[in-house]
Amino acid sequence: MVLVVKNIWLALRRRYRRLMGFGHKSFSITLEDLAQNLWLKHNHAMKTARQSIAVQEPKVQEPNVSPPVVSTPASSQLELLPTTAEVELSPPPFSESESVQPVSMGSFFVVDFVTPYEAILQQQGVREVIMRIIEMLEEHGACPSIVLEGVEHDEEARELAVIRKTLGKITLKDHTHRVTTLAIEGLKSTYRDWEPLLPKLLVVALGHDLGKIPAFRQASQYTLADHPSISALKLRELVAKEDEPFWWEEALGIVKGHHRKTTQPFAAVLRQADTKARELEVVRGANNLTLKPWDSWFQVPAVLDQLKNRINIVQRNRACDAFTLKSVVYCQPDAVFRAVQNCAKAAQVIDLSLIRSGDREMVLRRVVEAFRQADILADDIGEGFYGRQYRVVTSQAKRQGNVRQYFIPVNLEAFGEQASVFEQRKEGWVQLITAVERGG
């Protein structure tokens, strides 16, 4: 029995070797014949899978197909706060439907303003204070970045009335993050040894607009207060008297006055950052406006062209923007300021100093300096002044008294017209002017 089995096994072995080509006689066999009952039936399913892959591969390798946009916290941060290497910082885009619902930036406050400066914040003992400010911004910061209710009690809301709607689309969190980023840059460019000043800067930059949070403004003790005052009061509540840093009172004073003109370098860093942030936000909200340096759009001849058609024209309220006497044009400072505003409008430029009433004198001093450089001033104006006090004498002086006003005197020839052109326009009280004298 064993022998029979062995012979059968040997016969099968020889047949197998011949089939597999191990013998001396060559032959051919198809794969389908060889595996008719083994794996061919599964081959159809494998072909289907391979066909499916083959269809997808060109999509991945196609050079003209744009890759999908992946939303990550990092990409969101770059969109909201571009690097300072750019010529202009760009604020986050916004739309009407997302006016107060931006992408949350809460985590970015910590990543950008706490983590990189842990050592100095711990050293000065203000890390926890800054974290509490950030918690307020994360909890309440989806509100508009400008006061929209009770504007009569808020100086910024009144001054920026013409762009208030646009700024209302920017959230407090976005605005604060932008201001803080710009303030850090300003600190580094202003001070060589800036790091010890950084904790104070973070407190004033992160906390400067806490007073715009509606929940705080509605509290009875804050109802009639300006938002900088409310911000300072909220910051004061965060630190016990015995735990205050040595610079705490100074920081609160800077927060309270961050919309006022200042010559103090540290306070100026915050004000300039706030101004720059606002200008960037307006540019994004108004497609027809750009942000350019003053010298790139301000031109003395353009200002004079704006004034030219107003010379010797008496308005219904008896006001006159500018009048001539002999070879001098005496210009009202307000008229010059409006002329500069019109030039900016024509150039489609946003400059917050032309909107805030508190910057009016600074702008006029800058314009007068440009007039001085162009050698068109008709009378001496001292450094730091934007005009002179004059007494206007008329032929009816005995009956009406002399008129005392502040003027910017400009040579008539600078306007490019003959004196006779302007003389023909005179009417009303302008015709009665006989002299203009220095004096108060």
Q: Any long-range contacts for 222-225 (C-beta under 8 Å, 24+ apart)?
A: 223/150, 223/153, 224/153, 225/153
Residue 169 counted as domain residue: yes
The residue written with tokens 């509605």 in the block is 218
User: Does 431 have pLDDT greater than 80?
Assistant: yes
- Decide which of 34, 61, 88 is a domain's last residue: 61
The percent of the chain in helix, strand and coil, each rounded to the nearest 5, is: 55, 10, 35
- CA atoms of 360 and 355, how far apart (whole Å): 8
Question: In this predicted structure, what is the pLDDT of residue 336?
Answer: 98
- CA atoms of 222 and 230, how far apart (whole Å): 6
pLDDT in tens, 217-245: 887 566 667 899 999 999 999 999 999 99
DSSP state of 240: -
- Provide the H-helix boundaries in 286-411: 294-297, 300-308, 333-346, 360-373, 397-400
pTM greater than 0.85 (yes/no): no
Residue 66 counted as domain residue: no
Residue 162 counted as domain residue: yes
Residue 67 counted as domain residue: no
Strands (E) located in 65-138: none
Q: Are residues 306 and 398 in the same domain?
A: yes
- Contact 291/275 with Cβ under 8 angstroms? no
Question: In this predicted structure, what is the pLDDT of residue 97?
Answer: 34
Residue 434 counted as domain residue: yes
Nearest to 194 by CA among 255, 141, 120, 264: 120
Q: Are residues 328 and 392 in the same domain?
A: yes
pLDDT in tens, 303-341: 999 999 999 999 988 899 999 999 999 999 999 999 999
Domain total of the chain: 3
Domain range holding 46? 2-61
Q: Are residues 208 and 130 in the same domain?
A: yes
Give the pair of three-digit tokens for residue 392: 């206007």
Those residues with Cβ within 8 angstroms of residue 209's Cβ, 6 or more apart along the chain or in another chain = 145, 172, 175, 176, 179, 227, 231
Q: Are residues 169 and 252 in the same domain?
A: yes
